[in-house]
Amino acid sequence: MQEISKVLDILLEIHFRKGRVLHSPFSGHECLREDLGFDSIDLAELTARLDHEFGVDVFADGPVQTVGEVLAKVKRSARRG
């Protein structure tokens, strides 16, 4: 799915901009804060970019902790759209 690839690209861009390197592909289990080092500014950017790209606010229903949870919400939105 093209949505998954785009979401992962967005996550990687935010992660790399922090000067971090991802040593293996995303498994979906990575925690946004603990594993990727996202802070509130990064999460706000993620929310804005996903809303712009897919028309979904992944945090609208409550906290999202992992890459897999983000992907699941975008997939659900794509199926509805």
Amino acid at the residue 74: V
Bigger pLDDT: 26 vs 11: 11
Would you kindly state where each structural domain of the chain is located, as residue ranges?
Answer: 2-80
Torsion of CA 31, 37, 42, 46, to 10 degrees: -30
**Per residue in 21-77, pLDDT tens?**
777 788 899 999 999 999 999 999 999 999 999 999 999 988 899 999 999 999 888
Distance, CA of 40 to CA of 42 (rounded, Å): 5
31: tokens are: 């925690």
Is 28 in contact with 71 (CB distance < 8 Å)? yes
Domain 2-80 grouped into CATH 1.10.1200.10: yes
Q: What local confidence, expressed as pLDDT, does residue 32 receive?
A: 95
Distance, CA of 45 to CA of 36 (rounded, Å): 14
**What pTM value is reported for the model?**
0.87
